[in-house]
Amino acid sequence: MAYVTLACAIVSEILATTSMKYSDGFSRLWPSLATALGYLLAFALLAQTLKSMSVGTAYAIWSGAGTAVIAAIGMVFLGESTSALKIFGVLLVIAGVVVLNLDGAH
């Protein structure tokens, strides 16, 4: 169940970060509210996850997945530059999460 809660936290954080892009520096109401609510939900879910998962494991998955997905959203949907080096960097982030989790979730 901890992984499901963590996945929901990650999705919430991704939606919040994407909303922040559209908030225009927090000058647009609805994207700004979506950002605030998304991060509030994300941290509440992460806090629940930490009751049964080690902080290192949870945070490695949270930050790695969030970084990789946000980078992909930027490249695919938001017109950000795509290069082999950038894709390699995202793959390194994913590899780092995998390596940190080789010891297992305690």
pLDDT digits (tens, 9 = 90+) for 92-104: 999 988 888 887 6
Residue 97: in which H helix or E strand, if any? Answer: helix 84-100
Which residue would you say has higher pLDDT here, 2 or 102? 2
Rounded to two decimals, the pTM is: 0.90
At 18-40, the pLDDT tens digits run: 999 999 999 999 999 999 999 99
pLDDT score of 106 more than 60: no
Residue type, 38: G
Q: What percent of the chain has pLDDT over 70?
A: 97
Averaged pLDDT score across all residues of the chain: 94
User: In the predicted model, what is the mean pLDDT of residues 75-92?
Assistant: 95
Q: Alpha-carbon distance 25 to 103, whole Å?
A: 40
pLDDT score of 1 more than 90: yes
Residue 33: in which H helix or E strand, if any? Answer: helix 29-49
User: In the predicted model, what is the mean pLDDT of residues 62-91?
Assistant: 95
Q: Alpha-carbon distance 51 to 25, whole Å?
A: 34
